Amino acid sequence: MTELPARRLLLVHAHPDDESINNGATMARYAAEGARVTLVTCTLGERGEVIPPELRQLTGPALGAHRRGELTAALRALGVTDARLLGGAGRYGDSGMMGTADNDDPDCFWQADVDEAAGHLAEVILEVRPQVLVTYDDNGGYGHPDHIQAHRVAMRAVELADERGHRVAKVYWNRVPRSVAEAAFARLRGELPVLPFDEGASVGDVPGVVDDERITTTVDGTAHAAAKAAAMRAHATQIEVAEPYFALSNALAQPLFTTEYYELVRGTGQRGETDLFAGVEEAA
């Protein structure tokens, strides 16, 4: 049997681009340090809004195929080589925004049986045996149905894998401390006149913002800022980057964070951690 790397990190995301926005610096850092970084993406984002006018003809499966190529390029920039699509390519479709008719599509991820989808993810967990798993909170960070479902599937898969012999030592949710977000948006307001964006977003537009005391772990990825920005640029249908800011299809500028923040929700750790694997070796 092939020997596993000492550190193994699994991230569960809803669509291509979520990984780069939320965890790009973290993924690049741990990949550079020799950890096995595995990404599971639950849908291909077939219902995403396309930014470049020359690509707006892409919809449905054609957009999904294009975004899969963008994901490949993004992970290359991050140095990540292990990427999976939950249940295989096209198994679960993009569910669209909450409250739309797309949510009712029987093939969309929002309509998936959680135990079935979690079973697919549990198989990946049992194969790569991660000590650390990262996903969204129970609101998916900002209420998107695919993000909420990714949370449900990830948390259930951790339980299923535990029942089958592998315990994920630590589970984290993506977070941004409110003080950091507010300071970043204050800088953005001052710099907006020289940016290629007409308006700025607000703190409320950033997924996962919570009061500072909920943050347990801070990962400094500033050494990998260029990799994160390159990965986000690779998702050209969804993101426009003007470092240290970016905008989604709403064209509202927001900060590009290269220090990334987490809340430990399963496992043992201490507030103020700077390493997702803190204590893992000692507990192994």
Which residues are CB-neighbours of 264 under 8 A, at least 6 positions away? 170, 171, 172, 216, 217, 273
> How far apart, in whole angstroms, are the C-alpha atoms of residue 209 and residue 104?
29
State the pLDDT at residue 3. 79
User: Any binding-site annotation on 212?
Assistant: no
- pLDDT for 245 equals 98
Predicted confidence (pLDDT) at residue 284 exceeds the cutoff of 90: no
pLDDT of residue 140: 97
Q: What is the mean pLDDT of the chain?
A: 96
Q: What is the average per-residue pLDDT within 200-210? A: 97
Q: Which residues touch 284 (CB under 8 Å, ≥6 apart)? A: 131, 169
Cα–Cα distance for residue pair 204/139, rounded to 1 Å = 14
pLDDT of residue 1: 52
147 labelled binding-site residue: yes
pLDDT in tens, 220-272: 999 999 999 999 999 999 999 999 999 999 999 999 999 999 999 999 998 99
DSSP three-state, residue 38: strand
Give the residue extent of every domain in the chain: 8-178+207-227+260-266
Q: Which fold has domain 8-178+207-227+260-266?
A: Rossmann fold (3.40.50)
Mode of pairing for the β-strands spanning 245-247 and 252-255:
antiparallel
Interval 42-99: pLDDT, tens: 999 999 999 999 999 999 999 999 999 999 999 999 999 999 999 999 999 999 999 9
* Annotated binding residue 144: no
Cα 137 to Cα 66, 142, 190, 223, 258, distances in angstroms: 28, 9, 31, 27, 20
> Distance (Å, rounded) from C-alpha 211 to C-alpha 12?
23
Q: What is the pLDDT of residues 17-39, one digit of tens each?
A: 999 999 999 999 999 999 999 99
What's the rounded mean pLDDT across residues 166-192? Answer: 98
